[in-house]
Amino acid sequence: MENESGWLPFMVQQWDYYYRRFRGVNPPPFTKDPGDYVRNQVFSCFFNDSVCGRNLEWWGQDNLMWSNDFPHPNSTWPNSIKVIRRDLGHLPLATQTKVLAANVSRLYGLDMAALPAGVPKRRRPRKRRLDPSPDFRVSAGRCGSVCIGATVLRTGINDDPSAINGWRRRREKKAP
């Protein structure tokens, strides 16, 4: 699901509440709490949702994945690291690793051995590059891009640098 995720814990809580309250009166065709199905079968992405980042202190560590949504106009790129620091920087390294890499690796069967863990410490500012650098690659998911830490795997259209540059040229032509 790709629709930010700060709202998800509230909805799951409500589904569980109403399921438990009315299952005796109007039994549904399943036996577990809806929250159990969500925890076992649902992965959700977020990319600019500080509420979700705070919720991760107690909910969703195994099911949520940070995404930068590149190359869509609403993407956090080229400020993705700043957004990660803002939304996830307060979390323990183990939680950051799950949300930035382990959960998406588990979902798509990717090897985490070559990926960095956690949010890098603040470094001296670098000059901004127009093209993504080799240490900022994009992994295309079904509904956009899923970032895995500061470095991610290339798949699909993003393997071709001209595709990214072509997208940039089309976007610049539309600008007033």
3 occurs within a structural domain: no
Q: What is the mean pLDDT of residues 15-23?
A: 95
Q: What is the largest CA-CA distance in the chain?
A: 64
79 occurs within a structural domain: yes
pLDDT per residue over 21-74, tens digit each? 999 999 999 999 999 999 999 999 999 999 999 999 989 999 999 998 888 888
pLDDT above 90: residue 158: no
Provide the residue range defining the domain that includes 61: 8-174
Contacts of 60 by beta carbon, 8 Å cutoff, 6+ apart: 5, 8, 9, 44, 52
127 occurs within a structural domain: yes
1 occurs within a structural domain: no
2 occurs within a structural domain: no
pLDDT per residue over 20-33, tens digit each? 999 999 999 999 99
pLDDT above 90: residue 131: no
Cα 119 from Cα 89, distance rounded (Å): 7
81 occurs within a structural domain: yes
The model carries a pTM of: 0.63
Domain count, the chain: 1
